[in-house]
């Protein structure tokens, strides 16, 4: 064997050894990738198998949230608005007033709660104003008053001594319902 053959043989051996080492590292890295993928697959399978239990828990939370005492009942914004209108009519009637008009305002949803607003106009005796306001604010489900305007009609003649002056009160009553997501 000549020196050239020895150098060529050394080069071939180096290439084979280097290629073998590279092939070894490729196989080892592929095995690690396969092991990681199998680990992720096992985690996904565990998550998928727990799905029915999680769905049952989620439905329980939804039912509990929908039945909170302070929320307006109704499966839609229109039904919740009708419920609020009925409550305002009942309260106004109890304090000797009458609802002259109501108007549903656009609803909005924030964090799974839908805000329902109703513009109302009520005519009632002046002495019953605080009763009306208190009963709306203390109502369950919770109702909130906004934008209150009170009009006292100006009469040219004095009312009889025993007659209570009547006033018109305009306000927006607001309630919340669970909209869920």
Give the CATH number of the domain where residue 118 resides.
3.30.70.60
Of the candidates 55, 58, 79, the one whose C-alpha atom is nearest the C-alpha of residue 177 is: 79
Q: Does any domain span residue 32?
A: yes
Same domain, 113 and 152: yes
Q: Does any domain span residue 35?
A: yes
Displacement of CA 22 from its chain's centroid (Å): 56
Same domain, 85 and 172: yes
Same domain, 82 and 121: yes
> What's the mean pLDDT in 122-151?
92
Same domain, 97 and 170: yes
pLDDT, one tens digit per residue, over 72-104 is 888 888 999 999 999 999 999 999 999 999 999
Confidence of residue 115 (pLDDT cuts 50, 70, 90): very high
Q: Is 50 exceeded by the pLDDT of residue 156? A: no
Same domain, 85 and 31: no
CA–CA distance, 28 with 64 (Å, rounded to integer): 52
Q: Is 80 exceeded by the pLDDT of residue 11? A: no
Of the candidates 94, 74, 75, the one whose C-alpha atom is nearest the C-alpha of residue 141 is: 74
- Encoded tokens for 97: 């007033």
Residue 13 main-chain phi, psi, to 5 deg: -65, -40
Q: How many distinct structural domains can be found in the chain?
A: 2
Confidence of residue 18 (pLDDT cuts 50, 70, 90): low
Of the candidates 40, 157, 143, 33, the one whose C-alpha atom is nearest the C-alpha of residue 92 is: 143
Provide the whole-model pTM.
0.60
Domain with 43, as residue range(s), is 3-49
Q: Does any domain span residue 155?
A: yes
Q: Does any domain span residue 169?
A: yes
């Amino acid at each position: 064997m000549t020196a050239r053959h020895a150098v060529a043989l050394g080069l071939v051996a180096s290439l084979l050894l280097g290629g073998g080492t590279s092939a070894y590292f490729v196989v080892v890295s592929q095995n690690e990738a396969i092991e990681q993928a199998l680990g992720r697959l096992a985690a996904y399978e565990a998550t998928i198998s727990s799905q029915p239990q999680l769905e049952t828990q989620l439905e329980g939370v939804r039912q509990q949230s929908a039945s909170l005492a302070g929320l307006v009942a109704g499966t839609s914004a229109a039904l919740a608005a009708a419920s609020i209108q009925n409550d305002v009519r009942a309260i106004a009637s109890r304090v000797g007033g009458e609802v002259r008009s109501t108007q549903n305002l656009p609803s909005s949803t924030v964090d799974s709660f839908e805000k329902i607003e109703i513009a109302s106009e009520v005519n009632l005796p002046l002495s019953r104003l605080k009763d009306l306001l208190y009963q709306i604010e203390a109502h369950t489900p919770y109702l909130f008053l906004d934008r209150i305007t009170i009009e006292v009609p100006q009469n040219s003649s004095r009312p009889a001594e025993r007659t209570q002056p009547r006033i018109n009160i305009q306000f927006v009553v607001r309630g919340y319902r669970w909209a869920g997501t």
